Amino acid sequence: MNTSDWYKVAEEHKLQTPGLLVFPERIKKNIASMIKIAGSKERLWPHVKTYKMAKVIDLQMEAGIRRFKCATLGEVALLTSCGVEHILLALQPTQEKLVEFIKYQKKHPSIQFSTLVDNLDSLVIFNKLAEEQDVKLNLWVDINNGMNRTGILPEKAAKLYQVIVESSSLNSLGLHVYDGHLRPLDLEDKIIQSTNAFEAVDVLIKTLDQNGMKVPTVIAGGSPSFYPHSLRSNVILSPGTTLLWDLGYKRIWKESPFLNAAVVVTRLISKPNKNIYCFDLGHKAIASEMPLPRVEIFGLEKAIHKGQSEEHLILEYKQENNFKVGDLFYAIPYHICPTVAKYNKAYTVTEGELGTPWEIEARSYHLSF
């Protein structure tokens, strides 16, 4: 098969649409690129939210990666089933979630568990539950260095860190710093902005050290700032989208070595008017939080995306063609993470041949009902 047609499947009639395809060999190459950028597998603490699949976790573990981040209790359950070394729930839990999280920690003593905290009110709850359940709760102080989504400002974090250090039921593992807001197109600008945003974190680390509180580890960045933080020798790196890649990141990091390893398939279902084409690729099939276009369809790059509803995607395409209702098309989503979460299974494709589908096990937010 031509390398430019890497995404095509030989037996297209076997594909139900809309559908999700993943490419294991490309995922393996992306894992190798992650390790190369990081400098070692030990520096990586990847996030699983992008793919939510045991098979992708298994591929990383085969490459020597043992620690993972997640965002939901469903992903915690997935990671425990894979037998990873350490699970970081990288979303500060409310009391209800923490109760379930501690149950899992007690149920799986061979796995290390940790989570985030960014305020004293939550910390009081965490400490009380840890005492009641007779567990040691591992915590990272979540730092807001400009994104303004979660985290405590660096200049206010020392007191919070001190409370953790002084508690007999809590254990401080270090700082967690996510700067997903830094997305300049130029690589040098990325490095400069990342460095500037991290200055306050460096000041915090120095302040804590001067007061007798060492910071064992700092987990910094995600996929957008993966490369800039790789240049910083004293941090752990936490990419996630790098496993599957998508159109959004491809456009903001053009120099990246990562390959698109996930594709959606769709069929033309109607030609309701001249130059108007309708596909079965609605809101329920691809991430739709951004303005149109939300996907790039191979062979229709010059089409105008006119509208999208729950089950339909409408394109205007004026170039001469022989498209027929029922024709199959392949597309790259702008945002792969929410797209994957819309499917129960993914087709696997190797050199154009369909393999055993992969379950997307962690679509649920919960451990159980």
How would residue 1 be classed by pLDDT, with cut points 50, 70 and 90? low
pLDDT for residue 368: 61
pLDDT at 309 over 90: yes
pLDDT for residue 2: 61
SS (H, E, C) 52-93: CCHHHHHHHHHCCCCEEEECCHHHHHHHHHHCCCEEEECCCC
pLDDT at 367 over 80: no
Average pLDDT, the chain: 96
Q: What is the mean pLDDT of residues 343-368?
A: 94
Going by their DSSP bridges, the two strands 170-177 and 217-220 should be labelled as parallel
pLDDT at 311 over 90: yes
Tell me: the pLDDT tens digits for 45-89?
999 999 999 999 999 999 999 999 999 999 999 999 999 999 999
Tell me: the pLDDT tens digits for 212-258?
999 999 999 999 999 999 999 899 999 999 999 999 999 988 899 99
CA dist 24 and 86 (Å) reads: 24
pLDDT for residue 254: 87
Q: Which domains does the chain have, with CATH numbers?
A: 24-244 (3.20.20.10)
pLDDT for residue 25: 98
Tell me: the pLDDT tens digits for 121-163?
999 999 999 999 999 999 999 999 999 999 999 999 999 999 9
pLDDT at 3 over 80: no
CA dist 315 and 166 (Å) reads: 60
CA dist 281 and 297 (Å) reads: 11
pLDDT for residue 366: 82
197 phi and psi angles, rounded to 5 deg: -70, -25
